[in-house]
Structure 1
Amino acid sequence: MRNGLKIFTVAVMAAGLIVPAIAMAADYTIRASHSEAPESPLHKGYLVFKAYVEGASGGKIDVVISPAGQLGSITDGLEQAKAGAIQIAQGDEQTLDAFYKPMMILATPYLFADDEEARAFLTSDLFKKTNDEMAAKSGLRLLAAASYGFRDFTNNVRPIKSAADMKGIRMRVPPSPMSLAMVEAMGGSPTPIPWAELYGALQTGVVDGQENPLGVIYDYSFYQVQKYLTVDNHQLGLNSIIISEPFFQRLSPELREVVAVGAQMAAATEYGERNYQSRVVTVDALRKKGMEVYFPTPAESATFRDAVKGPMQAYLNKELDPAFVKAVYAEIEKIRAARASDVK
């Protein structure tokens, strides 16, 4: 009897282990792709997304993450999400316009004075409408976005404290019409140079300066060939979490909310760590390497924005609906006015 009871007990215990496993099988699988390393703040955000979505969905959604470009480039990932091969892909300010042109607005120099303005714009009714239109026309929806830092100027001629200080400086820029127009508007000499040749061009004096996020300036040792750094924050770096719209709409309203909240949590995780790195760790590291770091005052920052606003609007009006461009700038002004009112 004891052996029979023991066998029965083991069988019941085994059944108990098997049944929950069957009950917990996910109804949906989200395959998520991004291009950054497993140690990166972005990947940590994706891990938060996975933990939250799997838990908050009660096991109905399983999340599988492919980091470090395992599924291809950022553009490859977006193409796969559009085709439905994966469900979530990384986007950034340089790639989304290939899928929906009005998203090029996010790469406009000096559109945002800081991260808070960008966050307010991304939650505005205007951007929500633009996002809905992108979802309808491209099959891709932006769920959340996090700043990974702004591009800043370095050079060997002088500290750039206002737009006037750019005069005559040969500034390397990527082959972007907006970047060329930006430096020209401040009186500088924009010089497109391939990325692979940039360090040598700075070292030999072919150009006087360049512009990149602080992390890139440090990681690629530009401090060895550049003296002055101006944290002017002229172009927002924006990592976005993009979901396949057909997949998103197949989810119940409750699960859509879970996924959306998870994406916001992921973006907040990435932004928190990157903001600390760019504001504290990297700035201190560059100073220790001998760079002179300058943060423009609000009045000085306004000179940069004022110098490029006209040329940027003219370019955008050629590429996009002028009414949309006007609405974007009006929204930014409204955000600034509201923040100024809050301070008072």
Structure 2
Amino acid sequence: MSIRKGLALAGALMVLGAASASAQEYTIRASHGESTDSALHRGWQVFEAYVESASGGKIAVEIAPAGQLGSMTDALEQAKSGAIQMAHGDEQTMSTFYKPMLILATPYLFANDEEGMAFVDTPFFMETREKMAEESGLRLLAAASYGFRNFTNNVHPIKTAADMEGIRMRVPPSPMSLKMVEAMGGSPTPVPWVELYGAMQSGVVDGQENPTGVALDYSFYQVQKHMTLDSHQLGLNTLMMNEAFFQSLPVDLREIVVTGARMAANTEYGERNFQARVSAVDKLRELGMEVYAPSGEEVETFRTAVKEPMRAYLQEELDPAFVDAVYSEIESMRAASRAAVE
């Protein structure tokens, strides 16, 4: 290649590079707390790929995984302040920033994952999401189920609420979790996450409650004999965005961001759902755990035991009219679902 042609090529590449740089108008710096081999991270990778492509390079996405920017609460604080643009939330942590989100962590509120995720997208709850954006500065873009929490223990199979009597059940430091186990006659015992395995191994607690995949990933089958698939609390991973940044985007780019977030949530949910209902359950049985799937009538004993205590607690913590409206909305959803198949 001649020097003249080489200079011309270099000049052309510089022009293309400058054009590419100028096309990028926004950067989304994002944080989540899970490893790069998790279903959640794969979802966020889908978000990155879609948003960068669909925006024609106007938006660049930079993901910091595995808690590189701090705990979930730390990262949400950073997103709230605008230090970063996106962060990972869940059904427990969101209420720290906007208390009505506490409703999503209510035990036995949802019959299944689909019902829970559909509720989050109802016009009724969209109003709550908008109020959260206005009052907290954090916008919930999309939510993915990562599975229901289930009970495990070393005493005996828990088939109905009565079987919880006297069992020392580890719970996170959540008033709702404490009241749930108390309502069943169990002995709720708060234990920090980092001490949980040792507490089960030594007999400080008889059991714990977490999604099925957690019991597998953290080898709880080595120190727990029985699992009950009672599905008492829906886990929701959420993609949260700084509201001021969201509003700064042109409408077409906002739509791209919301679509990308929904794609991310769908990606995570598909993998998590298979794990929670098939692969993790099969593997735990293979590894020696006794996994019990209660009947509808047996699950109803759990629901009945906790419904009124949970509702009373929520009405103390939140606007009673809001709590009543939530229960009414879910009943309406169920009625519509039944009508669709009758």
Q: TM-score over 0.5 for the alignment?
A: yes
Report the secondary structure of 1:236's partner residue: strand
Q: Does 1:258 align with 2:256?
A: yes
Give 1:84's aligned residue: 82
Alignment-mate amino acid for residue 16 of structure 1: A
Tell me the alpha carbon deviations over residues 195-228 of structure 1, each in whole angstroms, 9 at most, x when there is no partner: 3433333234333221111122122222122211
Alignment-mate amino acid for residue 19 of structure 2: A
Give 2:171's aligned residue: 173
* Alpha-carbon distance, 1:7 to partner: 4.6
Gapped runs of 5+ residues in structure 2?
A: none
Select which of 50, 58, 61 maps to 2:59.
61
Select which of 105, 112, 115 maps to 1:114.
112
Q: Equivalents in 2 of 1:200, 1:84: separation in Å?
A: 39
Tell me the alpha carbon deviations over residues 119-143 of structure 1, each in whole angstroms, 9 at most, x when there is no partner: 1101111210001001001110000
Tell me the alpha carbon deviations over residues 26-48 of structure 1, each in whole angstroms, 9 at most, x when there is no partner: 01111111111111111111111
Q: Does 1:24 align with 2:14?
A: no
Report if aligned partners of 1:150, 1:234 keep a CA contact under 8 Å in 2. yes
Select which of 124, 128, 131 maps to 1:130.
128
Q: Equivalents in 2 of 1:87, 1:335: separation in Å?
A: 33
Report which stretch shifted further, 199-208 or 246-255.
Answer: 199-208
TM-score normalized with structure 2 length: 0.95
Tell me the alpha carbon deviations over residues 167-210 of structure 1, each in whole angstroms, 9 at most, x when there is no partner: 23222222211111111112222222333433333234333221
Report if aligned partners of 1:24, 1:60 keep a CA contact under 8 Å in 2. no
TM-score normalized with structure 1 length: 0.94
Tell me the alpha carbon deviations over residues 265-310 of structure 1, each in whole angstroms, 9 at most, x when there is no partner: 0111111111122222211111011111111222322221221110
Tell me the alpha carbon deviations over residues 295-333 of structure 1, each in whole angstroms, 9 at most, x when there is no partner: 122232222122111000110111100001111111111
Select which of 65, 69, 72 maps to 1:71.
69
Give 1:146's aligned residue: 144
Alignment-mate amino acid for residue 114 of structure 1: N
Q: Equivalents in 1 of 2:268, 2:194: separation in Å?
A: 28
Give 2:48's aligned residue: 50
Give 2:293's aligned residue: 295
Correspondence list, 1:1-344, <5 A = 6-25=2-21, 26-344=24-342
Tell me the alpha carbon deviations over residues 80-137 of structure 1, each in whole angstroms, 9 at most, x when there is no partner: 1111111111111121111111111111111112101111101111210001001001
Number of equivalenced pairs: 340
Alignment-mate amino acid for residue 154 of structure 1: T
Alignment-mate amino acid for residue 342 of structure 1: A
* Alpha-carbon distance, 1:51 to partner: 0.6
The Cα RMSD (Å) is: 1.6
Q: Equivalents in 1 of 2:102, 2:92: separation in Å?
A: 7
Report the secondary structure of 1:121's partner residue: helix
Distance 1:33 1:200, change over 3 A: closer
Gapped runs of 5+ residues in structure 1?
A: none
